[in-house]
Structure 1
Amino acid sequence: MSITRINTFRALDDHVDELKKFLLALLPTIRASVGCQSCQFLQDQTVPSRMVIIEIWDSIEAHHDSLQHVSQASIDEVRTMLAAPPVGGYYQ
Structure 2
Amino acid sequence: MVLCRTYDLLAADDRIEALRDALVTLAGRVRAIAGCEGVQLFQDADVPAHFLFVEQWATADAHRAGGVVLGKAALSHVLAALATPPAAATLMPIALHG
Alignment TM-score, normalising by the size of structure 1: 0.90
Task: Report the Cα offset of residue 37 of structure 1.
Answer: 0.7
Deviations 1:39-81 (A, max 9, x none): 1111001001010111111112211111123343343433221
Structure 1 runs (4+) deviating above 6 angstroms are: none
| Alignment root-mean-square deviation, CA | 1.4
Q: Which moved more, 1:79-88 or 1:13-22?
A: 79-88
Matched-pair identity in %: 29
1:86 aligns with 86
Q: Does 1:59 align with 2:88?
A: no
Give ranges in structure 1 of 5+ residues lacking alignment: none
Q: Does the 8 Å CA contact 2:22/2:77 hold for their aligned counterparts?
A: no
Cα distance in 1 between the residues matched to 2:36 and 2:74: 20
2:3 aligns with 3
How many residue pairs get aligned? The number is 92
Cα distance in 1 between the residues matched to 2:49 and 2:73: 22
Q: Does the 8 Å CA contact 2:26/2:75 hold for their aligned counterparts?
A: no
1:21 aligns with 21
Cα distance in 2 between the residues matched to 1:80 and 1:11: 9
Alignment TM-score, normalising by the size of structure 2: 0.85
Give ranges in structure 2 of 5+ residues lacking alignment: 93-98
Query: Structure 1: which amino acid aligns with 2:69?
Result: H
